[in-house]
């Protein structure tokens, strides 16, 4: 072993201290001050479990009615609102909605609807770029204790394979992490949001690829989920694999399945399974659906507040929102 002088030892010691400080600084900069995921669970900024119980709201298409409805939504004990938005709309208008949700103690989940059913990886990446613009990054940093980002609504039709879905989202995740976004990223399943198999097959690979290991997957349940045994089996499979999951949209058996979505799904089974597995869910949708989808309105379109049959089920059935929702601890501490 070579003998080193005192000055050399001192020099090495200084270098070591600098390197340790540098590493500590780097670790601090990549630690999320927002939501995180671990062992299949979503945790809020305080590190406390947060189980989503919420609804989708069409802010992109009905700006003022949706904004005004937020107080009525909060009155039904909703703890999370999935904000339907589009990349053509200015971030400044979005901040107004986010602040309102925070004031009403509801977590805002932002999603872009521009690529619904699209199969272009470049289109998907363009939505990630919306969230990494300077204005959006500044806003996300300001509200990082409260906001969840759902990059794209239902990107990928039934032709999109699991590997293509995974590779396309890897590029989006890399872009957002390189831009400095550290909080949880929500990723919809392909197959118009309904194909859970790619999440099962490639979800863990995507989580490991993410530098923050901080992803929440989202499944939408309509006509592809008409078999209630499949609901229970697949949700349990995801849970057993410790993959964080939220049911980001779901419907019900309207008109005995004779509807535009061929939907005969057992909504009570979905809500009960989510309750049993500590998973979140977000019902579609407050109101504002077009004529063929009007059966999915939770409240009457005429006044944006009177509950429909569907709304009563979502909010007040045994495993409904008002009976199971708990506010995020970032609000209860205030």
Write out the two tokens for 85.
Answer: 């938005």
* pLDDT higher than 90, residue 74: yes
Q: Would residue 10 count as lying in a domain?
A: no
Q: Would residue 11 count as lying in a domain?
A: no
In total, how many domains does the chain have? 1
Q: How far apart are CA 129 and CA 172, in angstroms?
A: 8
What is the pLDDT, as a whole number, of residue 51?
98
- pLDDT per position as a tens digit, 134-179: 999 999 999 999 999 999 999 999 999 999 999 999 999 999 999 9
Residue-range definition of the domain harbouring residue 104: 33-332
- pLDDT per position as a tens digit, 75-100: 999 999 999 999 999 999 999 999 99
Q: pLDDT-derived band of residue 332, with 50, 70 and 90 as boundaries?
A: confident
Q: Would residue 12 count as lying in a domain?
A: no
Q: Would residue 22 count as lying in a domain?
A: no
**pTM of structure:** 0.91
Q: Would residue 8 count as lying in a domain?
A: no
Q: What is the CATH number of the domain that holds 121?
A: 3.20.20.80
Using N-to-C axis directions, what is the helix angle for 63-74 and 91-103, rounded to 10°? 20
Q: Would residue 148 count as lying in a domain?
A: yes
Catalytic residue numbers read 154, 249
- The answer to whether the Cα torsion of 44, 41, 105, 150 is positive or negative is positive
- pLDDT per position as a tens digit, 28-37: 335 679 999 9
- pLDDT per position as a tens digit, 241-286: 999 999 999 999 999 999 999 999 999 999 999 999 999 999 999 9
* pLDDT higher than 80, residue 194: yes
What is the pLDDT, as a whole number, of residue 30?
54
- pLDDT per position as a tens digit, 12-21: 444 343 344 3
Q: Would residue 67 count as lying in a domain?
A: yes
Q: Would residue 303 count as lying in a domain?
A: yes
DSSP 206-259: HHHHSTT--EEEEEEESGGG--HHHHHHHHHHHHHTT--EEEEEE---GGGG-S
């Amino acid at each position: 072993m070579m003998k080193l002088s005192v000055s050399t030892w001192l020099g090495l010691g200084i270098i070591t201290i600098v390197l340790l400080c540098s590493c500590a600084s780097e670790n601090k900069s990549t630690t999320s001050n927002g939501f995180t995921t671990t062992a299949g669970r979503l945790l809020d900024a305080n590190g406390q479990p947060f189980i989503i119980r919420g609804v989708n709201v069409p802010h992109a298409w009905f700006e003022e009615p949706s904004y005004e409805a937020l107080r009525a939504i909060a009155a039904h004990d909703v703890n999370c609102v999935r904000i339907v938005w589009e990349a053509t709309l200015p971030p400044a208008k979005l901040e107004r909605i986010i602040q309102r949700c925070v004031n009403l103690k509801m977590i805002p989940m932002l999603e872009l609807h521009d690529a619904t059913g699209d199969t272009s990886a470049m289109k998907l990446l363009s939505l990630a770029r919306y969230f990494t613009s300077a204005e959006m990054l500044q806003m996300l940093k300001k509200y990082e204790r409260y906001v969840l980002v759902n990059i794209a609504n239902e990107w990928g039709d039934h032709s999109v394979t699991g590997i293509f879905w995974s590779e396309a989202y890897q590029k989006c995740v890399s872009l957002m992490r390189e831009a400095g976004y550290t909080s949880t990223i929500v990723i919809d399943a392909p197959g118009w949001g309904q194909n859970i198999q790619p999440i099962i097959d490639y979800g863990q690979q995507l989580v490991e690829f993410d530098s923050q290991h901080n992803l929440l997957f989202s499944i939408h349940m309509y006509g592809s989920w008409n078999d209630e045994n499949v609901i229970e089996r697949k949700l349990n499979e995801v849970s057993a694999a410790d993959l964080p999951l939220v049911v980001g949209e779901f419907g019900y058996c309207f008109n005995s399945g004779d509807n535009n979505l061929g939907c005969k799904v057992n909504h009570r089974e979905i809500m009960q399974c989510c309750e049993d597995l500590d998973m979140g869910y977000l019902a579609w949708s407050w109101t504002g659906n077009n004529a063929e989808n009007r059966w999915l309105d939770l409240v009457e379109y005429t006044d944006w507040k009177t509950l429909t049959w569907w709304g009563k089920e979502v909010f007040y059935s045994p495993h409904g929102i008002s009976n199971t929702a708990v506010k995020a601890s970032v609000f209860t501490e205030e």
